[in-house]
Structure 1
Amino acid sequence: MLSLIVSNPLFGVVLTLGVYFAAQKLQEKTNFALLNPLLISSIFIIILLSVTNIDYDSFNKGGSFLTMLIGPATVALAIPLYKNLALLKKHYRVILVSTLSGVIAHAILIGLFTFILNLSPEMIATMIPKSVTTAIAIDISNQLGGITTLTISVVIVTGILGAALAPILNKFFKINNPIAQGLALGTSAHAVGTSKAVEMGEMEGTMSSLALIITGITTVLLAPVTQAIIHSLYF
């Protein structure tokens, strides 16, 4: 009976969506940032597949349909950019400087990780797109020769930590400007950070959305350069 259910392509789709929405309800009730639906649903599905001995390929027959939506989701990022074009023009200096600073800071951090943890070239390529949204991170990881599945995990963890730590860091460093708060979340914690920014306010959410998109574009352009510099320093 189980084999018949698992062999149906709908199995992966229904399981993924069902677990995700359940995890979303859990976070809404607890209001605990670390109970992020992406993290909880991923952990639950991994445990379920392991306990029931369901192989990943069977699960991914339906899950691949959801993966196909990553391409359209990437293109759809242009919509908020277009809608907020006036705001982008008004604050373009702050937005560009903030996002570029964030991308450079991420690159320096990867360099430090390489030195401290003695990362392999493959792991460097895996880590470089850690702070951009999954849709973009997958393509960057593929192009650089990284481990795509591991990149997705790193991206999720980065986003969750960024969203969870943002309120604490804002309070500690007395960052009260909504533009600064939004740009920081979008630059460092991609879509997960943007969802947190939306909760904080309209301006925070808008600026985070813009930062998310521009950070993704900038990272795509600078990722090969970052990889080349780190390789020249350590290999």
Structure 2
Amino acid sequence: MTEALFSSPFFGLTLTAACWVFALWLQKRTGLLVCNPVLVAALLVIGVMTLFHVSLEDYNAGGSIIKLMLGPATAVLALNIYQQRQILRSHFLPVLAGCLMGSLTSIAVVLAFCWFFATEDMFTASMVPKSITTAIAVGISESRGGIQGITAASVVITGVEGAMLSPLFAKLFRITDPVAEGVAIGASSHAIGTSKALEIGPLQGAMSSVSLCVCGILTSILVLFL
């Protein structure tokens, strides 16, 4: 009975949805940065799987369906970009320059740390695309011989950190321009950070969406020269 329940595709979907709803409620109730919905939901899913000894294969029977939504969810961000197209036109070159510097910095930091700790090439390839959205990052990692699991984990951790810390850094460095704030969030913490940028303001969300897409393209090109 229990095995049949855990191996059902509805188990993974229901568990993920329930944890996500609870995580959203907890964030709204507490308002704490550490209660990021992605982080809380992920920890809850891991906790339930560990408690009931649910295998990854059983969870993925339904949980993997959620992966199919990554592409469409990213594409939906284009609507917000379209609504702010006039702002984008007037700030096109600064946005492009910011995305380029963000992509270069992210790659350079990964390479520097991997060199310092003498990691294997496989690990380095898995970590390089950590600051772009999962749908693109996994493809880059695979093409360079990386491990999908490490790439996905690094992308999620990077995104959660960005979503949690971006308001704090904006205040710390006195970033008041919404375009600059949005580009910085999107370049450093991709889709998860963009969800936070949308909470901050529609212009920040639009610029973060633009930055997310542009950084994904630039990173895909830059890794060809590594």
TM-score, with structure 1 as normaliser: 0.89
Q: Does 1:19 align with 2:19?
A: yes
Task: Verify the 8 A CA contact 1:77 1:213 in the aligned structure 2.
Answer: no
Corresponding residue SS for 1:34: helix
Corresponding residue SS for 1:118: coil
Corresponding residue SS for 2:208: helix
Task: Verify the 8 A CA contact 2:74 2:191 in the aligned structure 1.
Answer: no
Aligned residue in 2 for 1:231: none
**What is the correspondence of 1:87-126 to structure 2 with a 5 Å cutoff?**
87-126=87-126
Task: Verify the 8 A CA contact 1:194 1:205 in the aligned structure 2.
Answer: yes
> 1:158 deviation in Å?
0.9
Aligned partners of 1:107, 1:86: CA distance in 2, in Å? 31
Aligned residue in 1 for 2:4: 4
Aligned residue in 2 for 1:217: 217
Give the AA of the match of 2:119.
L
Task: Verify the 8 A CA contact 2:107 2:129 in the aligned structure 1.
Answer: no
Question: Mean alpha-carbon deviation: is it higher for 64-73 or for 130-139?
Answer: 64-73
Aligned residue in 2 for 1:170: 170
Aligned partners of 1:171, 1:106: CA distance in 2, in Å? 22
Question: Mean alpha-carbon deviation: is it higher for 18-27 or for 197-206?
Answer: 197-206
Change over 3 Å in CA distance of 1:149–1:6 after alignment to 2: same
Give the AA of the match of 2:90.
K
Aligned residue in 2 for 1:37: 37
Change over 3 Å in CA distance of 1:77–1:179 after alignment to 2: closer
Aligned partners of 2:78, 2:116: CA distance in 1, in Å? 37
Aligned partners of 1:30, 1:41: CA distance in 2, in Å? 15
Give the AA of the match of 1:104.
L
Question: Mean alpha-carbon deviation: is it higher for 138-147 or for 54-63?
Answer: 138-147
Give the AA of the match of 1:55.
S
Change over 3 Å in CA distance of 1:163–1:64 after alignment to 2: closer
Task: Verify the 8 A CA contact 2:186 2:211 in the aligned structure 1.
Answer: yes
Aligned length: 226
> 1:84 deviation in Å?
3.7
Aligned residue in 2 for 1:232: none
Corresponding residue SS for 1:125: helix
Change over 3 Å in CA distance of 1:210–1:218 after alignment to 2: same
- The one-character-per-residue Cα deviations of 1:62-103 (angstroms, maximum 9, x if unpaired) are 112212223333444544444443332221111000000100
Aligned residue in 2 for 1:208: 208
Change over 3 Å in CA distance of 1:90–1:148 after alignment to 2: same
- The one-character-per-residue Cα deviations of 1:156-196 (angstroms, maximum 9, x if unpaired) are 11112122222222222222211111111111111122122
Q: Does 1:145 align with 2:145?
A: yes
Aligned residue in 1 for 2:57: 57
* Identical columns (%): 36
* C-alpha RMSD over aligned residues: 1.7
> 1:112 deviation in Å?
1.2
Aligned residue in 1 for 2:179: 179
